[in-house]
Amino acid sequence: MKVKILQWHSVASWTWDAQDETCGICRMAFDGCCPDCKFPGDDCPLIWGSCNHAFHLHCILKWGRKLHLVHVVLSRVQAPGSLATVGKSRDLPFYMAPNFR
């Protein structure tokens, strides 16, 4: 007897693989989305600071705007895989708190 597979439709879940469970700003799950977003995934990317902490991109932008942090270190975002996630935001200036708790 031979088995011929005609179609194998499998199921998978995705994860950001962000070591941590929740975003330090909004306390929402990384695999979910920030409070302002409707859909997780592509629509609500993560960002990794030089401290290696991950945040929702939208959360960190909002937080920065709110505190008018001009003296913080401008750091280039270092995303582990670069490209897809960070691609859109590469050229944006990011104001990151030096010792963000």
Partner 1 sequence: MQLVDDADGALDSWARFCDLSDELFGGAGDLSAGPRLAPVVADLCARGLAELLRDQFIRSLEGIFRSNAVKKFWQQFHPYCNSSAVERIKFCVQENWPEDILSKALEDICLEKNYQEKCVLALVHSLQSYEDRSPHRKSKALDCSSSLMPRYQLMVSSVLLTTLPLSFPEILNVYFKKKLEELNIMMAGLDGSDPFDNHDLFERNSTSAWHSEMDIDGQEPGISESRNLVKNIGKVVRDLRYLGFTSMTEDSYSSAIIWLLKSKVHELAGDDYRIPVLGCVKKWIQAVPLKFLHALLTYLGDSLDNESGSSGLKSPLASRPSSFPGIGVPSEALVRWHMRLEYFAYETLQDLRIGKLFEIIVDYPESSPAIEDLKQCLEYTGQHSKLVDSFISSLRYRLLTAGASTNDILHQYVSTIKALRTIDPTGVFLEAVGEPIRDYLRGRKDTIKCIVTMLTDGSGGNANGTGNAGDNLLEELNRDAENQENVDYDDHTNIDEKQAWLNAESWEPDPVEADPLKGSRNRRKIDILGLIVSIIGSKDQLVNEYRVMLAEKLLNKSDFDIDSDIRTLELLKIHFGESSMQKCEIMLNDLIDSKRTNSNIKTSLSKTSQTVGTVQEETELSHEVLDATIISSNFWPPIQTEDLTVPASVDQLLSDYAKRFHQIKTPRKLLWKKNLGTVKLELQFEDRSMQFTVAPVHAAIIMQFQEKPSWTSKTLATAIGVPVDSLNRKISFWTSKGVLTESVGPDADDPTFTVVDSTSDFNKNSTVNQLSERFQITEEEGESSIASVEEQLRKEMTVYEMFCIAEPSYDKSLQQLQSFLSGLVSDEKLEMRDGSYLLRK
Interaction between residue 84 and partner 1 (CB under 8 A): yes
* Coil/strand/helix, residue 96: strand
For position 16 contacting partner 1 by CB under 8 A, the verdict is yes
Sign of the CA dihedral 92, 100, 30, 79? Answer: positive
Q: How far is the CB of 39 from partner 1 (least distance, A)?
A: 5
Q: How many positions of this chain bind partner 1 (CB under 8 A)?
A: 34
Burial group, residue 32, by CB count within 10 angstroms (0-12, 13-18, 19+): middle
Binding mask 40-79 for partner 1 (x = CB under 8 A): xxx---x--------------------------------x
Is 23:33 a contact under the CB 8 Å cutoff?
Answer: no
Segment contacting partner 1 (CB under 8 A): 10-18, 60-68, 70-78, 88-96?
Answer: 10-18
Find, among 61, 90, 62, the residue nearest to 76 by Cα: 90
Among 66, 68, 81, 93, binds partner 1 (CB under 8 A): 81
Under rule CB under 8 A, residue 82 binds partner 1: yes
